[in-house]
Structure 1
Amino acid sequence: MDDHDPKEELIETIFRNSTITVVGILLAISLGFITHWATNPVPWQFYDLFAVVPILVGIALQMRALRCCST
């Protein structure tokens, strides 16, 4: 029950390392942005959730992509 296709080409190490670097940088920028926004002294409003939820979903997807690329 192996799902691996023998014709499937492996990802080259250079490409994989570059992808990990790019996703890591984007994740750091996203986490820095949300941290800066969370520590802002201006009180949060309910309508801020409409912006925060997609950002947090994006961060979760970036973390998933980083985990999948590194294995």
Structure 2
Amino acid sequence: MADSTPSLPPMDPSVAKRLDPAFRNGSVTAIGVVLAFSLGFLNNWAAATVEWIPGDLFAVASIAVGIVFQVVAMAGMLAIESLEEAKYRRLIRIFMIGLALVSLGVLIAIGGDALGYGKTLLKR
């Protein structure tokens, strides 16, 4: 006796797996919040009245490049193509690189202040 249930056609490997838009929306929100924090941190630091030292450029460069990565990830997430799983994963990797760079820059800035680099370099 043959099975009378209809079989599904084989999946075409060229068809990209798509994500649920609600899932992507959460990622857009998270990227937006982190991007806003990154921009806010850089803005507050730039507006500070303290004198900058050459060592601050390492932190600023890391934060600025990280922000560029985050903006690229945000712009990509807003495109409809980001619903394709491969593109979504690529954009998440780009965002994570940006997050790591911004975090590194913030740690360099905080570490420099905690270790007193600004005070010792200005006395020379």
Please name the residue that 1:21 is paired with: 29
Select which of 42, 47, 58 maps to 2:55. Answer: 47
Once residues 46 and 64 of structure 1 are traced to their aligned partners in structure 2, the CA distance between those partners, rounded to angstroms, is 28
Of 36, 39, 42, the match for 2:44: 36
Aligned-partner SS, 1:42: coil
Q: Counterpart amino acid of 2:50? A: V
Larger radius of gyration: 2
- How many angstroms apart in 2 are the aligned matches of 1:48 and 1:14? 40
Tell me what 2:65 maps to.
Answer: 57
Structure 1 residue 15, shift from structure 2 partner: 1.0
1: distance between equivalents of 2:54 and 2:19?
44
AA partner of residue 46 (structure 1): P
1:1-47 deviation digits (Å, cap 9, x = unpaired): xxxx31x2112101110010000000000000000000000011111
Unpaired runs of 5+ in structure 1? none
> What is the SS of the residue equivalent to 1:46?
coil
Gap runs ≥5 in structure 2 = 1-13, 80-124
Which amino acid in 1 is paired with 2:75? R
State the 4+ residue runs in structure 1 displaced beyond 4 angstroms. Answer: none
Higher relative contact order (CA 8 A, sep 6+): 1
Q: Percent of aligned pairs with the same residue? A: 39
Q: Between Structure 1 and Structure 2, how many residues are aligned? A: 66
Tell me by how many angstroms 1:53 deviates: 0.5
